[in-house]
A and B are shown apart, each in its own frame.
Chain A
Amino acid sequence: MKKLSPAGYIVTLLFAVLAFSVFLVPHDPYVVNLNVRLLPPSTQYWLGTDGLGRDLFSRLLIGGRNTIGASLIVLVAALSMGIPVGLLSGYVGGFADRLFMRVSDSFLAFPDFMIAIVLSGLMGPDVFNLIIAIAAVKWIAYSRIVRNSVRSEKHKDYIAIARLNGLSSFRIVIKHLLPHAFSNVIVIASLDVGKIILMIASLSYIGLGVQPPSPEWGAMLNEGRAYFHQAPYLMIAPGLAIMLVVLLFNAWGDRIRDRLDVKRSRE
């Protein structure tokens, strides 16, 4: 077992905290109590309370679970769609490849956000729909990366030798091409976690994602906007949380890239 990097430790810790967030929260994040609305941070309410008197720290924890959980589901969905399509398109080539390329071109012709907004708008505001919308935008990029790495590898001599050795196309793809493609795509994907978090937060901010009263970082930013002058911490706390988590996942992505590189991991 290789040693975990600092980023790896923090990510593990973060996952643990979020997984057990239900037991860790000091207050119920959903209970409205207008007597304690807009309190500044104190020992009882660590980050203060929001406009409806709910504990901000508790909402931040549960909201983190929603935000990060949703973004990881998006990632898994996008990868499990993108990798097989990319492998197929890169390895088979010909008509399948041309078809895929034109489809992906037409997706890439529009900004990510616009497509996601249109899709989740059409399906109605809901977390599940949001996840589908973002995954539908993201898988294209992954399958293009996989396709390109397959195309660059498949003419190398070791593939010719494998074919001469009677390996079936399926086994050539699984044994030789997938590991190569995967190591390329997983790096991009881990760097994308940050972007997906931002996307979910932004779409929730405009009301398309997680619906109140469920907490979500982007939605919390939106709610805090109304009290910006009285209680700036309502926006500062979720904003900082988003920033730190995005940075963390980026650092982790760099680390994964180094780890998957056979040449570097030995050193």
Chain B
Amino acid sequence: MSVLKIKGLSLNAGQQQLVSDLHLSIEKQQWLALIGESGSGKTLTGLAIGGLLPHAVRMTTGQIFLEGQSLSELSAQQIRGLRGKDIAYIFQDYAGMFSPFIRLGKQLDETLQAHSRLGRRERKKQILTCLGEARLPAERVFNSYPFELSGGQLQRVSIAAALLLQPKLLIADEPTTALDHATGEEILRLLKEMQERIGCAILFITHDLKHVRRYADQVAIMREGCVLESGDVRAVLEQPTHSYTKQLLAAEPILLSSLTLTPEREPMLRPVDAHQSMLEQEKRFEASRGNRMLAAQNLVKTYPKGIKALDQVTFTLKAGECLGLVGESGSGKSTLARCLMLIETLDEGQLIFQQTSLHKRKTQAQSFISGRIQTVFQNPAASLNPRLTIVDSLMEPLDVFKDKSPAFLGDCRYKRNEAAALLLDMVGLPASVMRQYPHELSGGQKQRVCIARAISIAPDFIILDEPTASLDMIIQAQILKLLQQLQQQLGFACLFISHDLAAVQLMCRRIMVLQHGKIISEYERFPASSIQ
């Protein structure tokens, strides 16, 4: 008998159908991955199982069975009894799962108290073993407040909490999204281990194909509230039948590594001929040999409490070159970017941009770089003023630099709306978004607007500070493709900062690795000709 069976589930919010006619089943000890982009209804499906739907959302049709028992026949109280005991949850937002002012041990104890008849000592013993199994220092964590632990540790605690009562079904809703890559892997490995020991079934909600490949047995692909395709992981991912699955798979190799692109599987979203783009870069690189655009020497930035964010960073950048900068979170990548933009002042070191030194006379330096350096930040929502319409945000640089007239704008330069429409067209957006506010656009669209703004005055140098990190996979691939295309077309130099080596490799010929504020290695990619 399947642990979980969902038959024809439909969820509505008012008139809007969020999930329609969804069928799923999970067998004992199975790991089912539910994959889809944001807004596809995967999280709501997970919440519906435990009766945790938000008030506005109603289950219109369908039935959910847990080991043959229909959940819709149970009272709210009976479902509450099941939750935590038979159905457990792990969420993306690990910090939100715990009350900030109560010790973790006490919080875990509450769950146990609600569902079992054990005495106080026995409960504590059980919690400690459970924490220990999650490879945490049990005693210390038991007496800690949530803020005393790291993100990865807290997510471990929430796994320990979920598995405390040995549930039959564990629903893990993007448990690794808020964690950095290495920690995310550890969490999933732990989850797999725990699953094998307890023997529960897992519904794993994610948008990451990599994790699905590595851990799941079954996969269901969801889009716009429908399951498009489901079945054995290998079967579905190797022989996808639905066009969306193919698109999803095609988006992936770009991010994994452009080197592993297999020519026989024609992906729908191929990069703009990576080979061609590399050659272009090389040509420009050769042409501008000796033409240093940016030279940084021994940059040092120390934050209060003696934390060295940058430690003797030295590098150079030539006109039209794309330089990659890779590092984990906290390695000082963003600090470097902010120092280059002169938002933060360097403690030591020399910074020379186009033969002008930037490390002294701050206001003069600032006015020198403005109009020459542009940037695209990680979070597109914060990069646009929420109170301004898109056209006002987009045209800010052109409005300031009245005398700049990039060639690609041609005659439209001084016709505000036409110039905006042209810029939006260059990044693949319709001109109609001009009159909208940022909140009416999706994350990917907002990031396109930010890119359009960055290129609008044809800067010499663009700093890309994790431009794709907050977007889901298909959108990431699209944005990367767009950036590559624009770089090729306009020939600006760029510093591409990311924690994702694959994304950087796609655009950059030369890559630096930053760790604890130091550049620990720097390597050049093989010349494009030797790949083929």
Contacts and interface: CB of A to CB of B under 8 A. Distances in A.
Interface string B294-320: 000000000000000000000000000
Which of A161, A166, A266 has the largest number of chain B CB atoms within 10 A? A161
B341 A164 contact: yes
A158 B384 contact: yes
A158 to B, nearest CB: 5
A78 B373 CA distance: 42
Interface in B214-231: none
Interface string B1-25: 0000000000000000000000000
A176 B386 CA distance: 10
Contacts of B393: 158
A176 B387 CA distance: 8
Contacts of B400: 165-167
Contacts of B401: 165-166
Nearest to A180: B387
B398 to A, nearest CB: 9
Contacts of A157: 377, 379, 382-383
B370 interface: yes
Interface string B376-390: 010100111111100
Interface string A137-173: 0000000000000000000111011111111000000
Kindly state the interface size class of chain A when it binds its partner: 10 to 19
B396 A162 contact: yes
Nearest to A262: B437
Contacts of A21: none
Contacts of A262: 386-387, 437, 439
Interface string B420-449: 000000000000000001011000000000
Contacts of B387: 179-180, 183, 262
B367 interface: yes
B386 to A, nearest CB: 6
A152 to B, nearest CB: 12
B343 interface: yes
Contacts of A164: 341, 343, 369-370, 373-375
Given A156-B382, A157-B383, A262-B439, A165 B396 contact: yes
Contacts, number: 61
A92 B352 CA distance: 29
A166 B368 CA distance: 9
Contacts of A166: 366-367, 370-371, 400-401
A161 B383 contact: yes
B267 interface: no
Nearest to B367: A166
Contacts of B375: 160-161, 164
A168 to B, nearest CB: 9
A158 B437 contact: no
Contacts of B370: 163-166
A84 to B, nearest CB: 20
B413 to A, nearest CB: 17
A165 B437 contact: no
A197 to B, nearest CB: 30
Contacts of B341: 160, 164
Which of A164, A166, A176, A179 has the largest number of chain B CB atoms within 10 A? A164
Nearest to A177: B385
Nearest to B465: A157
A165 B383 contact: no
B253 interface: no
A180 B384 CA distance: 13
A8 B366 CA distance: 47
A180 B387 CA distance: 7
B399 to A, nearest CB: 9
Which of A157, A160, A167 has the largest number of chain B CB atoms within 10 A? A157
7 contacts: A157-B377, A162-B396, A165-B371, A165-B400, A166-B367, A167-B400, A262-B386
Interface of B: 338, 341, 343, 366-367, 369-371, 373-375, 377, 379, 382-388, 393, 396-397, 400-401, 437, 439-440, 453
Interface of A: 156-158, 160-167, 176, 179-180, 183, 262-263, 266
Given A158-B382, A164-B373, A167-B400, 13 more contacts: A157-B379, A158-B383, A161-B377, A164-B343, A164-B369, A164-B370, A165-B371, A165-B396, A165-B397, A166-B367, A167-B396, A179-B387, A266-B437
Closest 9 CB pairs of A and B: A166-B370, A157-B383, A157-B382, A157-B377, A165-B397, A158-B385, A156-B382, A262-B437, A179-B387
